[in-house]
Amino acid sequence: MPAFVNRRDIQFMLYELLGAQTLPERELYEDHSRETFDDAINLAYNLAEKYFAPHNREADLNEPHVVDGKVQIIAPVKEALEAFRQAGFFSAHHRYDLGGLQLPSVVSQVCHACFQAANIGTSAYPFLTIGNANLLEVFGSDEQKAKYLPHLLSGRFYGTMALSEPQAGSGLADILTTATPREDGTYSLSGTKMWISAGEHELSENIVHLVLARIKGAPKGVKGISLFIVPRFRVNEDGSVGEHNDVNLGGLLHKMGYRGTTSTVLNFGENGNCLGELVGEPHKGLMYMFHMMNGARIGVGMGATMLGYAGYLYSLEYAQGRPQGRKAGNKDPHSEPVMIIEHPDVKRMLLMQKAYVEGAFALGLQCALLEDDQLTHLDEAKRQEAALLLDILTPIVKAWPSEYCLEANKQAIQILGGYGYTREYPVEQYYRDNRLNPIHEGTNGIQALDLLGRKVIMGGGAAFTLLSREIEEAINQAREHEATAAWAAELEDTLRLVQQTTQELAEGAARVGADLFLANAHAYLEMFGHTVIAWMWLRQAVVAARALEGAKEADRNFYQGKLAAARFFFVWELPKTRHQGQILRAFDRTTTDMQAGWFA
Amino acid sequence: MPAFVNRRDIQFMLYELLGAQTLPERELYEDHSRETFDDAINLAYNLAEKYFAPHNREADLNEPHVVDGKVQIIAPVKEALEAFRQAGFFSAHHRYDLGGLQLPSVVSQVCHACFQAANIGTSAYPFLTIGNANLLEVFGSDEQKAKYLPHLLSGRFYGTMALSEPQAGSGLADILTTATPREDGTYSLSGTKMWISAGEHELSENIVHLVLARIKGAPKGVKGISLFIVPRFRVNEDGSVGEHNDVNLGGLLHKMGYRGTTSTVLNFGENGNCLGELVGEPHKGLMYMFHMMNGARIGVGMGATMLGYAGYLYSLEYAQGRPQGRKAGNKDPHSEPVMIIEHPDVKRMLLMQKAYVEGAFALGLQCALLEDDQLTHLDEAKRQEAALLLDILTPIVKAWPSEYCLEANKQAIQILGGYGYTREYPVEQYYRDNRLNPIHEGTNGIQALDLLGRKVIMGGGAAFTLLSREIEEAINQAREHEATAAWAAELEDTLRLVQQTTQELAEGAARVGADLFLANAHAYLEMFGHTVIAWMWLRQAVVAARALEGAKEADRNFYQGKLAAARFFFVWELPKTRHQGQILRAFDRTTTDMQAGWFA
């Protein structure tokens, strides 16, 4: 089986870059050690290889379909999820008292990454369930937690997030699903949700939908949205599954990729018999949902990253073994063809992939570590800082990998040429699967508005100031090494550009109005994203430069590769931010001046 | 049915930009007029709408498959091609004495574009046949022409180009198919070809393969490759179809997109009974093939363009009718959502598509006009110039649309959001179909080598000097209009950069060696491509600026749209060339320094 993750790189990220081996110093993780972390990761890798990877293509070719009103999914999906369940991965990150393994977020994220790389479609079922459980753990009442959490975390029930409706995807303010209070304190739900991943299937005993809806008479807009637990089957006092709760499949959506995961239209309360339990207080549903969105967005970014990573590794193996063409300038027809990895343009496509996927991987794990830090860092100030950093990095960790690791998949196809375009090879599926990621969990356009319209200006720019400080620290360290000094200077210049641009935008906002202030938010996201990934690469390069001396042959190659990918990013990618800064600082009006009627 | 081509833009391109109405001044086209051109285009549009567009999705969902040894293709494909045949489009561009309509290349290209936009998979069959016939017309013997041409141009026989083999795609020097001379002057063919589009089907009475093979004992490398006519069924003296020629289907390839066109593995001479006729002289096969490649590459570029164009028009229609969200700064929850076309970021995605697809469309038709000019321009010097320009523009017209119109399709999906990702909407298919175009007919990496390694330096840079002069002429015209003067200056700067970069590369080539000279050819292709498309936009902008005054309302909107898309290209796109120039002029060694062993 071809490699789908790079285990050496996992070691590098966790222990050489992020220092995860120090996490057991924290009380919550005191039973753990680098060994237990590695055991968990090895277990995940082995299960992913044995149960997830083998049916990745089969699930693509045989997507879920309805027979006699029931959603049929190929058998290996359930087998894989049963292995996942038995190994305890539903609750890997949760506390012992919830039946969990109490692993740090950054370690459980690596475990998940193995499953995502092997089979993104099958791994979506447990990850949605875990996200659902996480929300209930924070905002559910004691009673709700007792009723649902153990079953979600044991993998007996699966979960969904039911936000979008046919007429309201990015614009949740306009959702129409309504909740009518009943005398017993529950609510009667009515409405249609769309794009609900894992919304209907027979993989688990029950499905717990977390549904956004308006309580009758609630204020219009986002401040009138509440959150409800709406199980597919009602749950009896003893935890057994009772009668059907009038949540009905309206239809399956047929996607370009990501086909292993059902995507559904769900009709709630067609027969007036759909009961939901309010979570927390009325009208605060969107806030609860957003609170959990950081985690979900890291998950999407990591999924995009691992698809990119799997494609990179596959195309690398192919390039190493495919003879074709000769070195430029070699006109001797009797010479043998070289492996295509020797061609500079193929190296470019491989370096590009490596720079994208390993940069994104570092960022995803950095964000997971911030999740740990905000809860468990020994220093209270650092906990607060971690929360702030996570807030500002969330739009980046979702949008950047979903854009650039999709691009990586495009390059993987190109390296395989015609082969890459056929369904006999995996890379075209990665590309199709990955195309979802810029869309769901908040489109990248929404991420851009979140970044420029909220995150960088919130608290007087507190998060941005903090992030700048972190980046400056990396720059200072990189300055001290000959191998990295030039890149440190390059990143410093870029950071100044981002700071200056941000300041000019903020100062000009009142003058130009909200529409123009936000008009080029996507260019801002691009510029900011590249700067953040350059930060990741500078840190990786410093680690590699330090470790290179005295390293063994295999390690030397690995570190040289890190330095080469860093170089690629600094020379070929980061300078693109100059042009974005130009557009932004000019408050460019190309899009706002354009009239809808002029298109044709 | 949603629009798949913009008929107003066709008029603009042909008559306002390219002056095709003057072509009837040339003897070959003297029977024609703007009216006959428009009649042909309208006929093509109507047939495309009636016969090609309706089964585009059906062909994607039901790809060709083998039943009892025969390739089965859904019935509407044959019906559509019969309508195409009856209307005379197989020979639209050919001379009357060949049964053709003697339409200029630029007009027949527009006709083809309508079919490509409606259904790229079905339209591939006739276009491959036409390319095949064009080659035979130039290089076939009189006897061969008499034997095959009438049947190809009447659509009775279909044709293919059989170049690639499993081990040799980009590297044709290593093909293994052999041709053994027989006493009767024919050859016995033996070998396996792969990726042969339309290689086997029951759509036509016969299939005429043009096969590259080595005559036994031929020199190694590209100088030992000859070209053969190898029909599926032998053709009798009277033109009737005789016995099977031992060309056997090895298998169908299952592609990510472009599924309507069969892609095949073909085994020639499994039973030692496959006869081929040599075309022209021995060992000159690749030269013959390349001679016809200009046309094929324009065809691929136009196919990419039309997929991009169809996606743009679809996403435009969607954005005009989909309400969601409010203007930035509008916090009133009681306000109604606006159509998403009002959001600046959606306008950006639409403008980007418009700039890409209309820029590419202009270039494709400009190249088709150069095909006309090289044969029929009244001025002999202009004929030679046209041939030179076509040579240097060919790698651009193939590579640029296949890269950027694919990107356009990605944006179309993004505008539709989740809907765009489902197979219920057409844009995901356009994206999948278009992903083939950077690969086939010479990968874009190969185009980059062709441009930098041959086209810009050939004849002491003659073609490049000529192209520069053409671009400068456009700059001079654009300088005279207030609306376009700034863009003229921008293009002038860019052209200087390209010239300077080219000169430095050429001068440094001997010093740095062939490997490094060509290492960053892809960046050169990108820089050059954007410059050429900027030329197309500057010319469109000048026409629009001139026409705007005194134009009627609908036309005013159209011209404003042209100016806005030109602005987008000059502000958002063209400055990207600066960074590419930087990499190139530095002879950047990032890829050449990278060692294969450092990847992991």
ipTM of the complex: 0.98
- For the purposes of burial, counting CB atoms within 10 Å of the CB of A97, is it exposed (0-12), middle (13-18) or buried (19 or more)? exposed
**Under 8 Å between Cβ of B307 and B404:** no
Between chain A and chain B, the number of residue pairs with CB atoms below 8 A apart is 290
* Length in residues, chain A: 600
- To test the contact with chain A by mutation, choose from B591, B592, B593, B595 the residue with the greatest count of A C-beta atoms within 10 A, namely B591
What pLDDT score was predicted for residue A294?
A: 84
pLDDT band for position A124 (cuts 50, 70, 90) = very high
What pLDDT score was predicted for residue B2?
A: 79
Distance from CA of B578 to the nearest CA of A (A): 9
**What type of residue sits at position A294?**
N
Q: What angle do CA A330, A413, A425 make, to 5 degrees?
A: 110
User: Would you say the C-alpha torsion A197, A301, A349, A545 has a positive or negative sign?
Assistant: negative
Distance from CA of A215 to the nearest CA of B (A): 16
Return the residue of A nearest to B334 by Cα.
A220
Cα separation, B206 vs B189, whole angstroms: 18
Residues 6+ apart with CB under 8 A from A486: A570
CATH of domain A157-285: 2.40.110.20
* Residue A170 to residue B324, Cβ atoms within 8 A: yes
**Under 8 Å between Cβ of A439 and B420:** yes
Question: What is the helix (H) or strand (E) element at residue B229, kind and residue range?
Answer: strand B226-231
User: Which residue among B256, B316, B354 sits closest to A421, beta carbon to beta carbon?
Assistant: B256
> Model confidence over B393-448: pLDDT tens digits?
999 999 999 999 999 999 999 999 999 999 999 999 999 999 999 999 999 999 99
CA distances from A441 to A239, A402, A486, B559 (A): 31, 11, 37, 38
Residues 6+ apart with CB under 8 A from B524: B448, B451, B452, B501, B505, B580, B584
Residue A344 structure tokens? 């500079």
> Model confidence over B509-560: pLDDT tens digits?
999 999 999 999 999 999 999 999 999 999 999 999 999 988 998 899 999 9
Cα separation, B343 vs B412, whole angstroms: 15
* Residue A435 to residue B440, Cβ atoms within 8 A: no
CATH of domain A7-152: 1.10.540.10
* Length in residues, chain B: 600
> Model confidence over A476-524: pLDDT tens digits?
999 999 999 999 999 999 999 999 999 999 999 999 999 999 999 999 9
Dihedral angle computed from the Cα positions of residues B267, B273, B279 and B281, in that order, rounded to the nearest 10 degrees: 110
Cα separation, A23 vs A365, whole angstroms: 14
Cα separation, B155 vs A72, whole angstroms: 46
DSSP string, A340-356: GGGSHHHHHHHHHHHHH
**What type of residue sits at position A486?**
A
| Set of chain B residues whose Cβ sits within 8 Å of the Cβ of A594 | 347, 351, 564
**CA atoms within a 13 Å half-sphere pointing along the CA-CB vector of B92:** 27
pLDDT band for position A292 (cuts 50, 70, 90) = confident
**What type of residue sits at position A298?**
I
Helices (H) and strands (E) in chain A, counts: 19, 12
| Set of chain B residues whose Cβ sits within 8 Å of the Cβ of A351 | 590-591, 594
According to DSSP, the β-strands at B206-215 and B178-181 are parallel
**Under 8 Å between Cβ of A308 and A430:** yes
**CA atoms within a 13 Å half-sphere pointing along the CA-CB vector of B567:** 19
* Residue B351 to residue A448, Cβ atoms within 8 A: no
Give exposure, A218-250, as e/b (b: 16+ Cβ within 10 Å): beebbebbbbbbbbbbbbeeeeebeeebbbbbb
Residue A158 structure tokens? 């699966």
DSSP string, A439-492: TSSS-HHHHHHHIIIIITTHHHHHHHHHHHHHHHHHHHHHHTSHHHHHHHHHHH
Tell me A569's DSSP state. Answer: I
**Under 8 Å between Cβ of B163 and B127:** no
Tell me A23's DSSP state. Answer: G
Cα separation, A391 vs A398, whole angstroms: 12
DSSP string, A61-96: HS--EEETTEEE--HHHHHHHHHHHHTTGGGTTS-G
> Model confidence over A7-61: pLDDT tens digits?
999 999 999 999 999 999 999 999 999 999 999 999 999 999 999 999 999 999 9
What pLDDT score was predicted for residue A65?
A: 97
Average pLDDT on A224-234 reads 98
Cα separation, A92 vs A107, whole angstroms: 9
Residue A1 in this model has a pLDDT that exceeds 80 = no
pLDDT band for position B331 (cuts 50, 70, 90) = confident
* Residue B414 to residue A347, Cβ atoms within 8 A: no
Cα separation, A584 vs A501, whole angstroms: 7
- For the purposes of burial, counting CB atoms within 10 Å of the CB of A407, is it exposed (0-12), middle (13-18) or buried (19 or more)? middle
| Average pLDDT across chain A, whole number | 97
> Model confidence over B4-23: pLDDT tens digits?
999 999 999 999 999 999 99
* Residue A591 to residue B351, Cβ atoms within 8 A: yes
Q: What is the pTM of this model?
A: 0.98
Distance from CA of B253 to the nearest CA of A (A): 7
Cα separation, B513 vs B587, whole angstroms: 11
**CA atoms within a 13 Å half-sphere pointing along the CA-CB vector of A464:** 24
- To test the contact with chain B by mutation, choose from A591, A592, A595 the residue with the greatest count of B C-beta atoms within 10 A, namely A591
Residues 6+ apart with CB under 8 A from A322: A339, A340
> Model confidence over B113-154: pLDDT tens digits?
999 999 999 999 999 999 999 999 999 999 999 999 999 999
CA distances from A530 to A237, A470, B435 (A): 52, 15, 25
- To test the contact with chain A by mutation, choose from B421, B452, B516, B589 the residue with the greatest count of A C-beta atoms within 10 A, namely B421
Cα separation, A66 vs A73, whole angstroms: 9
**Fold assignment, B158-283:** Butyryl-CoA Dehydrogenase, subunit A; domain 2 (2.40.110)
* Residue A594 to residue B431, Cβ atoms within 8 A: no
DSSP string, A206-243: EEEEEEEEEETTPPSSGGG-EEEEEESEEE-TTS-EEE
DSSP string, B159-186: EEEE--BTTBSS-GGG---EEEE-TTS-
User: Which residue among B347, B428, B582 sits closest to A594, beta carbon to beta carbon?
Assistant: B347
Dihedral angle computed from the Cα positions of residues A484, A490, A491 and A496, in that order, rounded to the nearest 10 degrees: 150
- What does R_g of chain A's alpha carbons equal in angstroms? 24
Residues 6+ apart with CB under 8 A from B123: B52, B112, B115, B116, B303
* Residue B561 to residue A522, Cβ atoms within 8 A: no
Average pLDDT on B93-109 reads 96
CA distances from A498 to A99, A389, A494, B26 (A): 45, 16, 6, 58
The residues spanned by each domain of chain A are 7-152, 157-285, 443-590
pLDDT band for position A329 (cuts 50, 70, 90) = confident
Cα separation, A319 vs B522, whole angstroms: 18
**CA atoms within a 13 Å half-sphere pointing along the CA-CB vector of A309:** 30
> Model confidence over A190-217: pLDDT tens digits?
999 999 999 999 999 999 999 999 999 9
> Model confidence over A138-183: pLDDT tens digits?
999 999 999 999 999 999 999 999 999 999 988 999 999 999 999 9
